[in-house]
Structure 1
Amino acid sequence: MKQELKVLYYLKKKQCGKDGLSPVMGRIHIGKSMSQFSLKINADACLWDTKSGRMTGKSRMALDVNRAIERINLVIHTRYKELRETSPAVDAHDLKNASQGIASTQATVLDSFRTMNDNIAGRVGKDYSRAAYEQYLLSYRALEGFIREKLNRSDLPFRTLAYSHIEDYCNYLRVDRKFSTGTGSIYLTYFRKVVRNAVNEGILPRDPFHGFEAQREEVVHKTLTKGELERFMSDEPRVRQQKKTKDVFLFGVFTGLSYIDMKNLTYDEIHTMEDGSRWIISKRQKTGVGYRVRLLDIPLAIIEKYRGQQPGGKVLDVPGKMTVHSGLNAIAKRCGINKALGIHVSRHTFASLITLSEGVPVETVSRMLGHEHIKTTQRYAELSLDKIREDMHRLSKRIEGRFTLIEGNL
């Protein structure tokens, strides 16, 4: 049911001054809510028309007072229209605050999200990467779409944000937008950050996310087996871009570098040690965490292949990510690799097949990958069946003859 707005103007005659003037007051009614306020102007009670809420006559005072009332009245009705666009339920107290420029109670989700994103934009290249900032922008657009399509609003005031909105947004991401659980979780995390900021600033008295648990699914990281890697390495692409794609992928397989870190790798980040070994020592663009990895024969050969060909001291000629993915899957198809390949598969393969499966401690792998937490490395690194078979074979050799089965215990 539509709540009608009524605004009444009257004189507070009990506070009549020595000059015979009384303060002009206003009273806002919306449904059953009511809020009073002072217009901070005075009027002559003898010329005041109670019914119209205005002064009578054409004296200078009457014209000035009536113009001031009309101006305030226009502001109130304009603010009311704006609030109705974002919330179907507007009370008189909120409208008074909005009309008087008190914004804290009218803070909205999308406006706060934009402010947060603007702040992050200024930190790109410092403690945020461009890719991370773009994820925030995509998250904002998804939330904006939900509010517009499902709530039929242009924004959502924090005071109306409820637990049900969070559940509905989660369902919107999975069903309407068909996002994966992982992508949906990232977008919910950014939304939660906006809400947490509002709680910290005193805009929200409590966290609407309290008690909410997003659906999680076990992430299975793709990695190449030893046989698949051998087939991939033996392929000889005829297309120039696929040749570059193959080199970039193999560089990642034997160094563990991410796509963006390979793209930005410069000769200044390659160091020669006293023993003649060569290492990449740098910081990950995504997290700023330092990493160091020794260059093996294959990545060294790839470096020499492209030496001096790139501007700005760059080491590799890295195609665009979509070009890389397209090339990888063309190679995979020729090699009989029946799995979709992305550039990140090279990093997973380094963690599982090249390092952990060869007995490199997980702590060392974590340092080479530039992970902040070792749990991240453990999720990346999935031991191959070959490694499990080798470990069990060594175990069987070590314990052979040390245990005797007593038949009577069967």
Structure 2
Amino acid sequence: MNKTFTLLYFLKKGKLQSDGTVPIYLRLTIDGKRADISSKRYIDPKKWNAKAQKVDGKSEETRSVNVYLKTLEQQVYDAHRELLDAGKHITAETLKNKLTGVEEKQRLLVQIMEQHNKNLEALIGKGYSRATWVKYTTTSRHVKDFLKWKFNLADISIKDLSFEFASDFEFYLKSQKSIDINTNAKYIKNLKKIVKECVAKGWLEKDPFMSFKLKAKASDRTFLTQHELDLLENKQFTIERLNHIKDIFLFSCYTGLAYIDLANLKSYQISIGIDGEKWIFTSRQKSDEPSHVPLLPTAMAIIEKYAAHPKVLNSGKLLPIPSNQKVNSYLKEIADVCGITKELTFHVARHTFATTVTLTNGVPIESVSKMLGHKKLQTTQIYAKILDKRVSDDMKVLRTKLTKEDGSDHLKAITG
């Protein structure tokens, strides 16, 4: 229900006619937003009574104008009542359209999403990644499937969106698509973002999903322990392609680069850093955040090993990188040979850099966050939470220190 609804007649003196008359306009104000309608009546401004909202005088012409203004006012109230009875979303603009016979442009959710995705596709490589575009196109496909399943519709007006719509969409993704809770939350987050853009553009007065809270659970970050990393690093395979994939994986373990960022890395992006040593200077494709990483000895050795590789020489890329699908397929084979029971994917290398290689060895979390190209320190803190080993090592140091300071006599006194 609208909070306020007021009508006001006023003269538009800026539209003074050659005969000295000015037009009378009707202003509709609903919830603080205005829309003006011309009454198509003109009067001498000296005869206008703003307080009484009528023309002063007793002539037949004056009486006719005043009757017309009252009739127009009643038409506004009748139109308002019709919109209410029809359950329509009423704004000053929709009421004006109703009165003037203008058909309000209907804005449909799927159409808006598809235009959003089309715009996003045009910006791939210009601040947005292909992966982001794929996520939004997948979200759009799920919304279309949901509309068919729930309403047997191909599209829906954004003004018909509600908390219930978001809740039903979440249920659909879980029950019909068997999508896990975290992926589910990502699709709904994408939908919410597009709906917020509709609010920002003035197509919706308020966010219909405002009260809907995303549900997600903290996901485990699989990473290699130092023992597992040593196993992998020291393993020499008789099959060359496995040695190649192992090296690529290890490079990420010692630099923290995601697959796509490593695949795109060029030789010229290796340069001398502030400390006089070689660094990687790049930006994450996912977020366009800068990622500057000093090269550790293992990573440097891998670069030198492949410097003369034909694919490196012909492409200008830093390393010869197979497709992500191939890499992950071979990593499963490598894990089996090394006796590593964890599911090995390329992204495990990035997690290993964040935990085993850096945080566990005392690199400050702020520095790790900078190297990983995280926008927020909060994202990096996920890794800090899982490092029980670091806590154990720190407490061992404290335990040794306290034992030396207190001496054995103090311990004997406690134990009796």
TM more than 0.5 = yes
Task: Tell me the distance in 2 between the aligned counterparts of 1:241 and 1:174.
Answer: 39
Map of 1:110 onto structure 2: 110
Aligned pair count? 319
Map of 1:307 onto structure 2: 307
Tell me: CA distance 1:101–1:256, structure 2 relative to 1, closer, same or farther (3 Å).
farther
Q: What TM-score results when the alignment is normalised by the length of structure 1?
A: 0.71
2:237 maps to amino acid: P
Aligned to 1:293, the other structure's residue is in SS state strand
Map of 1:144 onto structure 2: 144
- Map of 1:34-45 to 2, 5 A cutoff? none
Contact 1:117 1:133 in 2 (8 A): yes
Task: Tell me the distance in 2 between the aligned counterparts of 1:250 and 1:279.
Answer: 17
Map of 2:321 onto structure 1: 318
Contact 1:352 1:382 in 2 (8 A): no
- Map of 1:75-224 to 2, 5 A cutoff? 102-104=103-105, 106-224=106-224
Map of 2:291 onto structure 1: 291
Task: Tell me the distance in 1 between the aligned counterparts of 2:136 and 2:292.
Answer: 29
Quick check: 255-264 or 268-277, which moved more?
268-277
Task: Tell me the distance in 1 between the aligned counterparts of 2:102 and 2:346.
Answer: 51
Aligned to 2:282, the other structure's residue is in SS state strand
Superposed displacement of residue 331, structure 1: 0.9
Q: Does 1:277 align with 2:277?
A: yes
Tell me: CA distance 1:173–1:139, structure 2 relative to 1, closer, same or farther (3 Å).
same
Tell me: CA distance 1:273–1:109, structure 2 relative to 1, closer, same or farther (3 Å).
closer
Map of 2:74 onto structure 1: none
Tell me: CA distance 1:275–1:185, structure 2 relative to 1, closer, same or farther (3 Å).
closer
Aligned to 1:400, the other structure's residue is in SS state helix
What CA deviation, in whole Å up to 9, does each residue of 1:236-275 have, x standing for no partner?
A: 3344433322111100000111101110111110013586
What CA deviation, in whole Å up to 9, does each residue of 1:333-360 have, x standing for no partner?
A: 1222112111111000001000010011
Task: Tell me the distance in 1 between the aligned counterparts of 2:263 and 2:401.
Answer: 46
Superposed displacement of residue 110, structure 1: 0.5
Aligned to 2:321, the other structure's residue is in SS state coil
What CA deviation, in whole Å up to 9, does each residue of 1:169-225 have, x standing for no partner?
A: 111112211222221111111100121122222222221112111211111111111
Contact 1:235 1:331 in 2 (8 A): no
- Map of 1:243-254 to 2, 5 A cutoff? 243-254=243-254
Q: Does 1:354 align with 2:357?
A: yes
Task: Tell me the distance in 2 between the aligned counterparts of 1:209 and 1:332.
Answer: 44
Task: Tell me the distance in 2 between the aligned counterparts of 1:209 and 1:274.
Answer: 48
Contact 2:273 2:294 in 1 (8 A): no
Aligned to 2:254, the other structure's residue is in SS state helix
Aligned to 2:232, the other structure's residue is in SS state helix
Map of 1:397 onto structure 2: 400
1:138 maps to amino acid: T
What CA deviation, in whole Å up to 9, does each residue of 1:350-397 have, x standing for no partner?
A: 010000100110011111111111111111345544433321111112
Task: Tell me the distance in 2 between the aligned counterparts of 1:235 and 1:381.
Answer: 29
Structure 1: 5+ residue runs without aligned partners?
Answer: 1-88
Quick check: 249-258 or 226-235, which moved more?
226-235
Tell me: CA distance 1:274–1:131, structure 2 relative to 1, closer, same or farther (3 Å).
closer
Tell me: CA distance 1:339–1:275, structure 2 relative to 1, closer, same or farther (3 Å).
closer
Map of 2:25 onto structure 1: none
Superposed displacement of residue 90, structure 1: 10
Task: Tell me the distance in 1 between the aligned counterparts of 2:185 and 2:230.
Answer: 36
* Pairing partner for 1:369 from 369, 372, 394: 372
Quick check: 189-198 or 276-285, which moved more?
276-285
Q: What TM-score results when the alignment is normalised by the length of structure 2?
A: 0.70
Superposed displacement of residue 407, structure 1: 7.8
What CA deviation, in whole Å up to 9, does each residue of 1:59-79 have, x standing for no partner?
A: xxxxxxxxxxxxxxxxxxxxx
2:271 maps to amino acid: H
1:271 maps to amino acid: S
Task: Tell me the distance in 2 between the aligned counterparts of 1:201 and 1:170.
Answer: 26
Contact 2:189 2:214 in 1 (8 A): no
Superposed displacement of residue 301, structure 1: 1.4
What CA deviation, in whole Å up to 9, does each residue of 1:118-145 have, x standing for no partner?
A: 2212211111011211111111111111
> Identical aligned pairs, as a percentage?
34
Structure 2: 5+ residue runs without aligned partners?
Answer: 1-85
Map of 1:5 onto structure 2: none
2:295 maps to amino acid: L
Map of 1:231 onto structure 2: 231
Task: Tell me the distance in 1 between the aligned counterparts of 2:292 and 2:273.
Answer: 12
Aligned to 1:255, the other structure's residue is in SS state coil
Task: Tell me the distance in 1 between the aligned counterparts of 2:378 and 2:109.
Answer: 33
What CA deviation, in whole Å up to 9, does each residue of 1:2-55 have, x standing for no partner?
A: xxxxxxxxxxxxxxxxxxxxxxxxxxxxxxxxxxxxxxxxxxxxxxxxxxxxxx
Contact 2:245 2:331 in 1 (8 A): yes
Tell me: CA distance 1:368–1:155, structure 2 relative to 1, closer, same or farther (3 Å).
same
Superposed displacement of residue 401, structure 1: 5.7
